[in-house]
Structure 1
Amino acid sequence: MNDCNPTKEAAIASAAALVAAQCAKVAEAMGAKKEQLGSIIGSSMSGTSANDILTLTASANTSLSGAATLKARTGCKNRFNGSAPILPIEDTNDFPFEFEKCRSMLAKGAELGVETPDGKYMVRSVSIVLDGESKVILKLRKLSLLKSKKECIVLDLHAELYRDPEADEITDTCYIIVLTTNLGTIKLDMVDDYQCYKTWATTINHMLLLSTSFTKYQLQFHKN
């Protein structure tokens, strides 16, 4: 039986072309030059087996979603000149807050742009939980490696706003949640999604309040 039939070759070629296009979009979004795109497309087209194509497609798809966030984040940074204004984390009537529901949502996690303490920007699977010791734990996972994760303890937070002064005040606003952790400052990019920003910021703030209250109770208990 001949494995190299026209139908199989056409399917592989089509998949390889898709991967190449995705890789090119990722590279372009990150500022790659045209001559650099050639090598990216070439490496994507070199896959000759179904496993090669599946691996490349999954990788490119993950990178593409990350590049979209990265591009939005870059736009927000470039729009705002000077220091970012700090927003108060407070309960407002425009956001129907249900703590247990929101806590479950943050425990499940989401793909967010993350700026690490060393200033690197990357897309990660981000989740936050209140553990058995009442510590607020931030978990960061690489999108392609679900078992690989980095954890740190959240100590405090505030929010920063990026906005183009000449743009629409609502639709062109970007939100950054700045977390003070035991490993340094980590920023979570909410881009222009106010609902997402409000959910994460309010829930984390409530977690920290619970953590502080529990710690004070423990200290008082041990004193007595």
Structure 2
Amino acid sequence: MSFINAIAEVCEASGADVTTLADILGHDTRIGRRGMRPGLGFGGGCLPKDIRGFMARAGELGADRALTILREVDAINNRCRERMVDLAREQLGGNLAGKRITIWGASFKPRTDDIRDSPALAVAQKLHDLGATVTVTDPQALDNARKTHPELDYVDDPITAVQEADLLLHLTEWPQYSHIDLHRLLARAATSRVVDGRGTLNARTWREAGWTVRALGRP
């Protein structure tokens, strides 16, 4: 995951489309297509903690240089969150103060209410700290999110959540978000801008419905 997210950074700099490159790389059976989708990175209560614990133990054993690659994995993963904030700022003309941003997703992955080290909530909190009014929606994780991030706004329905929004961020790849009535959605929002932080929305369908779509690693 961190490899393809690092490649996404290069694709953005060069104007290439990372999804095309990922598909090409996936033909190599030693690599495969699973996990080769650029996005906001991983979270949860296990993998980030285990990576750091493994690095710490290697340091205790004097073998920390052997795990330099894991330090970079951790750095890339955190950089994806920073990049999402940067993309939001770019879409809103460089200033987040007073802007209304809706975030689809609070859990660290779909089909769970687990918000431990959630990339979506990390981005939401940072946008709030920079002056935006942030509304979060999620099918299962809102109760947990309210407890840890009470300063954010929460709405159950993903269409209602975009009311007067200046920007929509898709940050947890719940399958139901791919089946939203995009014309109803557009009628609610203040603008037609969406950033797909998971690369699972059908960009062509969204654009045909009148949306401007931005995604990590795509021109």
> What TM-score comes out, normalization by structure 2 length?
0.28
* Structure of larger gyration radius: 1
Question: Which protein is richer in strand relative to its size?
Answer: 1
When normalised by structure 1's length, the TM-score is 0.28
**Larger RCO (alpha carbons 8 Å, 6+ apart):** 2
